Amino acid sequence: MIYIMKFIFFTLIGFLANIPHVIAQDIFNPFVDNNMTILAITIVAGQFISMLLVALVLRTGFKNLIKLQKIQISTTHKKDRQMRGREKSILCASLEGEMNSNQAKLDAFVIIYEKLLINLRDKSQEPKYKKGGDIIHKGPALSRNVYDANIDKMELLEPSLISDLSALYSKVSTNPDYRTIDPDTPVDDVIDFVSQIIRDAENLLAPMDKINGALSVIIRNQKSK
């Protein structure tokens, strides 16, 4: 646009520079019609006005183009935000589903092992493992398919939530280790072992509740948008 205006300016200067020459001819040449001066001025003025109109049209066109580009960029950003919002909602809903499933498994695991602990502490009867041994898992078998399949999408979530999820799933196992209890194992050792298993399992409940609450808030907020 600046180059166009410079071109018009210097062109106008060139035209105006010819006017004194035309006027001089009218003064010193009695045979030249005075209308030539008017004609020359009219031509110069017409060309200048034409160029000015072209410049105005170009300027308006550039403004409209810039405005259109801004609208397109804004629309693209809006679509990107909406798409990321949908992906975030789907991710949170999937994680919430897996979290609820794991929480139910964890609750059942704790109940079973608490009953085992009660039986071990019952002095009126001999523990079952004394008859042929037993196998005790060190933790519940939980799911982590959703989390593992969406590691690359975790950046959609808040950093604090990502950190909480990472810390929780570092303790989640789909195939936990187990310990074989021999019949000659002292009862007190088995009681201590089972008590620790229950404490470890219960320690997962609070982080699950916290994460579930955060996921529920995100899902609710996304639905309200």
* Domain positions in the chain: 2-73, 83-224
Phi-psi sector, 96: left (phi>0), alpha (psi -120 to 50), beta? alpha
Q: What is the pLDDT of residue 15?
A: 44
Residue the block writes with tokens 């195939």:
175
For the chain, list residues with pLDDT below 70: 1-42, 44-46, 48, 53-55, 58, 61-62, 65, 68, 74-76, 78, 225
pLDDT of residue 40: 61
d(CA 92, CA 160): 14
Pairs from 115-120 (Cβ < 8 Å, separation ≥ 24):
116/194, 117/191, 117/194, 117/195, 117/198, 120/187, 120/190, 120/191, 120/194
Q: Are 214 and 102 in contact (CB under 8 A)?
A: no
Give the pLDDT confidence score for residue 224 in this predicted structure: 73
Q: At what angle do helices 187-224 and 35-121 cross, to 10 degrees?
A: 150
Measured from the Cβ of residue 211, the count of other Cβ atoms closer than 10 Å reads: 20
Joined tokens for residue 220: 């609710």
Which two tokens mark 78? 């809006």
Alpha-carbon span 14 to 10, nearest angstrom: 6
Secondary structure letter of residue 20 according to DSSP: H
Residues 6 or more apart whose CB falls under 8 angstroms from that of 47 comprise 11, 15
- Closest by alpha carbon to 156, among 81, 67, 108, 88? 88
